[in-house]
Amino acid sequence: MAKHPVPKKKAPKSQTSGRFHTYVTNVQKKLKDRIHLVPCPNCKQKHLVHHVCPNCGKYRGRQVLNMGKEIDKITKIKA
């Protein structure tokens, strides 16, 4: 005999999937609440707090990423 509690019958598929999906939605809600988005003072786009704005490339009023500028292509090779 088993010493731990054993279910008498197999749980139906709907019961199992319902439990699983409730768990998934709870986890997703928790993760969603953790993400803290703030509007950028420069472009008003929402970005992660304490991170560089991916839209304009500024952080605390300082240009960190050069977003608009194209990378200079090497046209001449010095020998």
CA-nearest of 74, 55, 76 to 64 is 55
Check binding of 59 to Zn ion (CB under 5 A): no
**Shortest CB 58 distance to Zn ion, Å:** 6
Q: Which of residues 27-56 bind Zn ion (CB under 5 A)?
A: 40, 42-43, 53, 55-56
DSSP 37-55: EEE-TTT--EEETTS--TT
Decide whether 35 or 77 has the Cβ nearer to Zn ion: 35
Q: Which stretches of the chain bind Zn ion, using CB under 5 A? A: 40, 42-43, 53, 55-56
